[in-house]
């Protein structure tokens, strides 16, 4: 307990960084993932091929390698990025690969007849997606999207390898200065658990609300 009290400011700041990394990367990853999902269902073979390649590469390689490539590799070609933006960039492109598949699954789950009915009425493609497809696709894709958000929040711990002071890095720093590694990492673990428990509760509430809307 005294460890928590003594290092509470450092842990609180590290938790803010963890939350910022997770939320920003999820929002940006969702936007990019949606673009990739639309490319996957596109009739244009080039777009579809690029989206498939993107998902294959970023799902098929470890996130740790991607973070290191962004932070240590890009400077070799003249692209310098600070630690936090590097972590956000790597987390974003990694999350987008998974989220694109979640979004695509939700989109293709919408009955094809609804697409055809809207198109027969002359509804523009953009409005069709926004008014007809998106509400149903989100309801179908919400559970895996929520799980990806929770996984992404835990993945932020890997940002510690590029000197980002988030929860894991803070716990390591506290452990090295006090030699109480067990307590420091247990506190960090509990913090991650609390964050993800709150996310799980929020996800469940949102699922119930959307379920009532379509009951």
Domains of the chain (ranges, CATH numbers): 2-213 (1.10.3720.10)
Per-residue pLDDT reduced to its tens digit, 135-169:
778 888 888 999 999 999 999 999 999 989 899 99
* pTM higher than 0.85: yes
First to last CA, the chain: 48
Q: How far apart are CA 110 and CA 200, in angstroms?
A: 25
Per-residue pLDDT reduced to its tens digit, 6-24:
777 888 899 999 999 999 9
């Amino acid at each position: 307990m005294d460890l928590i009290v003594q290092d509470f400011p450092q842990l609180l700041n590290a938790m803010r960084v963890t939350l910022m990394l997770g939320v920003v990367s999820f929002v940006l990853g969702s936007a990019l993932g949606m673009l990739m999902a639309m490319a996957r269902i596109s009739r244009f073979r080039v777009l579809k091929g690029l989206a498939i390649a993107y998902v294959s590469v970023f799902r098929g390689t470890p996130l740790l390698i991607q973070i290191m490539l962004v932070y240590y590799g890009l400077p070799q070609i003249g692209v310098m990025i600070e630690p936090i933006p590097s972590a956000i960039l790597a987390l974003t492109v990694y999350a987008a690969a998974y989220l694109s598949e979640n979004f695509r699954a939700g989109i293709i789950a919408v009955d094809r007849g609804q697409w055809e009915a809207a198109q027969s009425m002359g509804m523009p493609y953009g409005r069709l997606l926004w008014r007809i497809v998106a509400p149903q696709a989100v309801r179908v894709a919400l559970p895996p999207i929520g799980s990806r958000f929770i996984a992404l929040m835990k993945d932020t711990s890997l940002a510690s390898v590029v000197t980002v002071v988030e929860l894991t890095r803070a716990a390591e720093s506290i452990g090295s200065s006090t030699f109480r590694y067990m307590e420091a990492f247990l506190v960090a673990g509990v913090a991650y658990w609390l964050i993800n428990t709150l996310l799980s509760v929020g996800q469940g509430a949102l699922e119930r609300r959307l379920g009532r809307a379509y009951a």
